Structure 1
Amino acid sequence: MDMTGEQRIPAPRDAVWRALNDPEVLKACIPGCQELNKLSDTEMTATVVLKVGPVSARFSGAVTLLDLDPPKSYRISGEGQGGVAGFAKGDAKVSLEEDGAETILRYEVEAQVGGKLAQLGARLIDATAKQMSGAFFKRFAQEVLARQAQDAAPAPQESPQEPASAAAAPAGTPAPAATASEPPPAIAPAQAPRAAAPAAPPAAPETGALRPLALGVLMGVFAIAGFVFGGMSQSAGGGLPVSGAFLLAVLLIVVAAIGYLFGRLDGRRA
């Protein structure tokens, strides 16, 4: 049995050549192909289930690629056994010709069949072979185009995320400011009794009222100190030099503020 033909594939010759040598592509395109394993760059094994007229058979065979001239042409030699259904063997020459952005694939097949398949007649065998050939090339063109589209698609880009340190800085900064702003409004009520001297309560209740205020101011001062020293530590960890004299000055200011606060309390108690 001899068969010749050609197919126009809307893809560059290099892409068509790669697909013809890709076992996954061939397995997806060969009608009835159940298995296709690549043993080497020139050898493959396959298992194909075929139905020719009333005869159904499961063929297991081997294929060898010969006379390779990438990406222009090669020759395929193969043989398959289908048990009582018969056997098939033959050679096929495949050539690829560039035509602009497309490729013309030409093939020439010489095959022999035996067993029950040979008894079906050349006309039925030829019709089945042409039908299988048309189905193969239709799927093959679709596979090549699908792979081209996949390769041409841009890779998905991940949206940039803010670093953890940058995101944490704005959230942490307002907290100390809010704490530092609490003491000034709280001091104003403590000065109000001095404006109304006739109705001023005794000194002992006034001192007791200042104790929660002193505790709040003290906690605010410690919060400010912690924020300052924490900021200095982060700056130092980021590679910015921090002067020891500057840290000492900040510490002295905090201690002086605490001393001034408790001095006011002692003066009121007296």
Structure 2
Amino acid sequence: MQLELTGSETVGAPPQQVWDALNDPKVLQACIPGCRRMTETAPDSYVMEVHLKVAAVGGSFEGAVALEDKKEPVSGNIRVSGEGSIGTGTGAATFTLEPDGQGGTVLHYDGRGEIGGLVAGVGQRILKSVAKHLVKQFFGALKKQLAPAPAAAR
């Protein structure tokens, strides 16, 4: 089953700070929904373990993530693949960062993937809805990671 996701999200941090966060495995692990482990295997290459529930289908999968064709702090590509108890998946996405003119960043993304196994059985409409929800969770967590630390109480 094919899946496509395209969109934009505004993040309240400058492009270099967003770039640094998107290239930090600790930040990514904290932001990727269900990510339990992310380990670097080579520069810009990682293995991760993710636990997700999609409709009535839930389980874990192990996957590989690679960041490619990076043009700091403007654009890059992400390649993912994984398999586990909930099915299989491969995908690629391009992202670009641009200043929003107010000190923040607009992050544009365009991704395509192929989903198979149990998780594909929930249907494309439900799967796309879940994927959009996961993207929203990712960006919500990224915004929290990039939010300024509150001033210490005096």
- Aligned 1:78-227 pairs, distance under 5 A: 78-83=80-85, 85-100=86-101, 101-146=103-148, 149=149
Amino acid at match of 1:115: G
What is the aligned residue count?
A: 149
Deviations 1:145-203 (A, max 9, x none): 24xx48xx79xxxxxxxxxxxxxxxxxxxxxxxxxxxxxxxxxxxxxxxxxxxxxxxxx
Deviations 1:115-166 (A, max 9, x none): 11111100110010011110110110110124xx48xx79xxxxxxxxxxxx
- Aligned 1:11-50 pairs, distance under 5 A: 11-50=13-52
* Matches of 2:37 and 2:111, distance apart in 1: 22
Instruction: Identify which of 68, 71, 95 aligns with 1:69.
Output: 71
* Matches of 1:141 and 1:41, distance apart in 2: 25
Residue segments in structure 2 that go unaligned for 5+ positions in a row: none
Identity %: 38
* Matches of 2:29 and 2:65, distance apart in 1: 13
- What is the root-mean-square deviation in Å for CA atoms of aligned residues? 1.5
Higher relative contact order (CA 8 A, sep 6+): 2
* Matches of 2:113 and 2:83, distance apart in 1: 14
Q: Give the number of the structure whose alpha-carbon radius of gyration is greater.
A: 1
Instruction: Identify which of 29, 51, 54 aligns with 1:52.
Output: 54
TM-score with structure 2 setting the length:
0.92
Residue segments in structure 1 that go unaligned for 5+ positions in a row: 155-270
Deviations 1:232-258 (A, max 9, x none): xxxxxxxxxxxxxxxxxxxxxxxxxxx
Deviations 1:72-123 (A, max 9, x none): 010011101013x210111011110112211000100101101111111001
* Matches of 1:89 and 1:102, distance apart in 2: 31
Relative to its length, the structure with more strand (as a share) is 2
* Matches of 1:119 and 1:139, distance apart in 2: 28
* Matches of 1:136 and 1:75, distance apart in 2: 17
Amino acid at match of 1:98: P
Amino acid at match of 1:87: T
Relative to its length, the structure with more helix (as a share) is 1
- Aligned 1:223-238 pairs, distance under 5 A: none
